[in-house]
Amino acid sequence: MVRLISSFVAILLLGSGVTFAQPTGAGAPPGTTRPEARKFDLDFLGGPPEKLIAAVEKATGEPLNAIIPEQEKDVMLPALKMRQVTVSDLFIAMEQSSHRMETQVTGTYFSNFGDGGARSQYSMVETSYGFRQVGSVWVFSSKRAVPPPDQVTVKTRFYQLKAYLEQNSIEDVTTAIQTAWKMMAANKSFPNKNATTDLKFHKETGLLIAVGDAGQVQVIDDVLAALRPDLVLPTRKTNANPPTKN
């Protein structure tokens, strides 16, 4: 009798079009795990966000919905070595550990004290980066400090080298400069490891022309000062960025 009643109820439900909700996980069969909840091991050597997404996809064997805005693609992420984590665990921990206080330029003022001229005002700001989940998509964003002007502009410098070439060849001078640049890039504390600067020597005038990263251009001053400390460095400088229109 009980069996007959159960069969009758089942027939009524089927006939009425009643359906039951699938288990969470986009209709995944029982016993399976959603990709974002699957645990995996990760050995990430560091790099931009795109490389981290590729490493996660390789470790999980599943594609990952992620958006990395164009202006965020140059953010450099640290090396990560994880064991038995989920995508959510990884991204939440990475974002939380990225928070730090940094110095930021907030303005410029002019002073008559000391050497006078323009001086920068600074304040402390909290910076961070990471992936945040929006529905089923992970979106990368960062909060960065505004760097000093020398770090955001390309510098153009002109060096008169005739006096320096009385004791050294142009190859000696440029080799010393380029060796210093390589050592800077190899130093873990150097902030801009992808910096580039072009050097051109104009033989007819004796001018060495440098265009590129402000930190690398400053090295040229230091090298020339070490080669001939008896000379006052004759240079002309300009900002290679075009002026903005008001």
Q: How far apart are the first and last CA of the chain?
A: 90
Final residue of a structural domain among 145, 172, 205: 145
Residue 46 belongs to some domain of the structure: yes
**One digit per residue, pLDDT tens: the chain, 246 residues?**
445 444 544 444 444 444 343 333 444 444 444 555 789 999 999 999 999 999 999 999 999 999 999 999 989 999 999 999 999 999 999 999 999 888 777 766 665 554 445 566 778 888 999 999 999 999 999 998 876 655 545 678 899 999 899 889 999 999 999 998 888 878 765 666 667 889 999 999 999 999 988 778 888 988 988 888 877 555 455 544 544 444
DSSP letters along 141-188, please?
EEE-PPPPHHHHSEEEEEEE-TTGGGTS-HHHHHHHHHHHHHHHHHST
Query: 45 and 69 in one domain?
Result: yes
Final residue of a structural domain among 115, 145, 175: 145
Query: 161 and 140 in one domain?
Result: no
Residue 63 belongs to some domain of the structure: yes
Residue 43 belongs to some domain of the structure: yes
- CB burial of 85-105 (b: ≥16 within 10 Å; e: otherwise) equals bbbeebbbebbeebeeeeebb
Query: 186 and 159 in one domain?
Result: yes
CA 149 to CA 126: how far, in whole Å?
20
Query: 192 and 137 in one domain?
Result: no
Residue 53 belongs to some domain of the structure: yes
Query: 133 and 65 in one domain?
Result: yes
Query: 137 and 155 in one domain?
Result: no
Residue 114 belongs to some domain of the structure: no
Residue 27 belongs to some domain of the structure: no
User: Nearest-CA neighbor of 100 among 82, 78, 124?
Assistant: 124
Identify the CATH number of the domain in which residue 202 sits.
3.30.70.980
Query: 154 and 95 in one domain?
Result: no
Residue 185 belongs to some domain of the structure: yes
Final residue of a structural domain among 145, 178, 203: 145
pLDDT of residue 121: 72
Query: 234 and 154 in one domain?
Result: yes
Query: 189 and 132 in one domain?
Result: no
Query: 173 and 140 in one domain?
Result: no
Identify the CATH number of the domain in which residue 133 sits.
3.55.50.30
Query: 139 and 183 in one domain?
Result: no
Query: 195 and 133 in one domain?
Result: no
Take residue 137 and report the two structure tokens written for it: 């998509």
Counted domains in the chain: 2
pLDDT of residue 110: 60
Instruction: Print the domain residue range for 56.
Output: 35-100+127-145
